[in-house]
Structures are given as C-alpha cells and as structure tokens.
Structure 1
C-alpha cells in the first residue's frame, strides 16, 4: 500500500510528463569578452569600483611602495598585521615590512591560524593574493604557513597586493584552473564585509574589514 509520500511523488511525475521541455541554455561566459590583459585590468578596476574597493595601479615596485605609504598615512595606521615578509620578498620583490616600518607602523607577525589578540588590535591587515576575478573585482586569498587567515579578516581594513598576472576573467575560469592538491583554505573578498540580516539594517564591518584596498602590481 502506497503512503502519502509515494502518492505525492507519483502525482508530480504525472504532471511533469506533460510539461513542455524548454531547451537548456548555457550560461554566458562573462570572461569571453575580456581575453586580453588590458581588458582584464579594465574589468577588474571596474569591479573594484562597483564593490566600493579603493585601488591603485602600480607600474613599478617604487610606485607600489608609495601607494602603500599613502594608504597608511590617509588612514592613520599605527599598527599593521602582515604576512611573513619573506613571502612578500620572494613572490613580489617588495619589502612590505620595511615600507610599514619606515612609515612608523608597528608590524604584528601573527603566529599560526588560531586567534591572535595582536591581530585584533591592528589597524590594517596586509596580504598578497592567490588570484583575482576581473568580472566581480574579487581578490582570492589563501591561508597557509606565514599567511594566516586572520590578517585579511580581523583588522578593520585589508590591503591586498595583487600581481596583474593573477587576473582571471571570472569565478568559473578560476575554479577550472585550480590545481591539486588544493590549498587548505581559500576565501574570496569582494568589497568590505557587510550584512543586512538583522532587521534588514545594512551594516559594514560586522564580520570583517570595513574597508578594502587593492594595489594592482602591473609589472608582474
């Protein structure tokens, strides 16, 4: 004897049998219109603008250092949490800690992935990037040794140094290109942290940085 569940499923099957079958339509590849580097950069900067993210385009390491120093001064940064400086030196050729220290900023070196009170008290978190999605102005950040997740999540402001060569058209392109083994953690940053789930009141910085800044490294 059939139960209520079986009866319901049978009725659904019968109803769907006579329903017209619309042809499946593929999702438009948003990256197809921006295959060349200049188009990727233009789309990425537009995406950053749409997400409310400040940005600088640095043609040289010197310009990148100047942009970092400018952001520090404008925000009155006194303490910064940052990835291990060896990572910046090896991957970007930038002495990020040197720039921060030269501007009078005390640098916090968070240890491991666990909570770090020093990071919670920092004015700024400085990271590199794993990838950047041009269509949405998104910076993808990974976690790992010397690159704790807390740096991009806990401080009230996050500055990401993004090599231009890491730009990809969109999320689909990025996911298809991911190699194995995958990093232990990946998170995508599209603008400042925000929420509207409490009485539909829009709040910035409830679960992360209230401001995000990107320095795009054009020579890389």
Structure 2
C-alpha cells in the first residue's frame, strides 16, 4: 500500500466506508446531500427589520426613502457640509436624471474616483441574515466607487432584500452569465490587526449608509 492508498483508506474509514463507492453511487450520494436544506438562522422580525438590525450591528447606518425623487435631499441631509466635497456616483439608471441641486452635482468619471469623498451606488440585493449589501460588477455598478471614497452611500430597494446568501446566487444565476466580480459588503471597512483595537476605514470606506427605497 502506497501513501496515496493509506490516505484514502483513512478518509474512507472516517466516513464509515469499507470500499470506494462507484462513480454513480458517489454522484447519487452528493446529489442527495445537496438537496437537503442546510441549517439556517431563524428570526421573528420582518425581513427589513432583520436587515437593518444586522446592518447597525456591523456599524452601518440607514434611512428609509419614500420615493426615488427624494434621494438627493436625503443624501444632502445625511452628508451636511460633507456634501460640498467631491461627490461621485455610479451611472445607474436609478440615479441618473435626478435633480441634484441640493448637492454639488455628483461626478460620474471613474478616473477621478480616487478623489471622491463620497460615492453613491445602487445595490443589487441586500441579505437580511447578515445585513450585507450585494454589488455585482457591471456598467451600472462599477467596482471602484465601492472601495475608494471615505463614505459609501448605497441605495437599496426593499423588494431586493432576501433572507439568505443562497437566494442571491439563485437570482444572479437566473439573470444570466455571472458578472466578473460580486462584492458582498457588511458594514464599513475595518480591522483590528493593531493591538486588537478596532479601526474603521482600514481598507475602504469609513462609513456605510444605506437608503432603503420603498417599492
């Protein structure tokens, strides 16, 4: 018996098997296990309540917005004087064409994104289980604004909040070919590498603010 056989024999023993299953049996066993519903956290709150609770626990903030046209004024109110600094946004149809007069008109030239203090993007989905937002890459959701500015404002339609991560992948696969990148963001950037002291903004935005757009 060579080393490979010894390793495989030990693995089979730990799985309670005495012999190598056939390819067909192995596939059937795998299919049966994949069909099982994995254990998942349960909660009594609504999907939106669970999302906002977990978002706050991750040091994010949020506000409810009744209609799309109110986004510029809501963003201006949250930013205050910071709204005078360079502001940029993703070229998403939900953001373009709005009256941005309460603010300095947001830039859309991604070559200048490294100079933006605040970026506004639109989420593909939110995950209630973890309070995460999902931002797949694409023409209307470029990746750069998600990570370079100090403040990240994300518009999320409440109808796009799902319970679990698995639901997001089901939606993405149903929409067609997967995008090149799928960013799942939970709260502001942070690290505790230095003396176990939490620091925000270590590798990305210091603030994450989600605007929940009512459908």
Structure 1: distance between partners of 2:75 and 2:124: 19
Q: Which moved more, 1:41-50 or 1:145-154?
A: 145-154
Instruction: Give yes or no for contact 1:40–1:167 (8 Å, CA) kept in 2.
Output: yes
Q: Tell me which of 39, 58, 63 is aligned to 1:28.
A: 39
Q: Tell me which of 83, 96, 104 is aligned to 2:90.
A: 83
Structure 1: distance between partners of 2:69 and 2:7: 68
Distance 1:8-1:140 versus aligned 2 partners, 3 A rule: closer
1:15-164 correspondence runs (5 A): 17=16, 27-30=38-41, 39-61=46-68, 63-73=70-80, 75=82, 77-84=84-91, 86-89=93-96, 95=98, 98-99=99-100, 101-103=101-103, 105=104, 107-111=106-110, 116=111, 118-164=112-158
Structure 2: distance between partners of 1:15 and 1:53: 44
1:175-214 correspondence runs (5 A): 175-178=169-172, 179=174, 180-197=176-193, 200-214=196-210
Give CA deviations for 1:9-49 in whole Å, capped at 9, x if unaligned.
5456556649xxxxx99532336856xxxx11111111111
Instruction: Give yes or no for contact 1:44–1:136 (8 Å, CA) kept in 2.
Output: yes
Q: Secondary structure at the match of 1:208?
A: coil
Distance 1:165-1:5 versus aligned 2 partners, 3 A rule: same
Q: Which moved more, 1:165-174 or 1:74-83?
A: 74-83
The normalised TM-score by structure 2 is: 0.77
Q: Tell me which of 166, 169, 178 is aligned to 1:172.
A: 166
Q: Which moved more, 1:176-185 or 1:153-162?
A: 176-185
Q: Secondary structure at the match of 1:173?
A: helix
RMSD: 2.8
Give the number of equivalent residue pairs. Answer: 196
How far the C-alpha of 1:84 sits from its partner, in A, is: 1.6
Q: Which consecutive residues of structure 1, in runs of 5 or more, have no partner in the other structure?
A: 19-23
Structure 2: distance between partners of 1:215 and 1:207: 22
The normalised TM-score by structure 1 is: 0.75
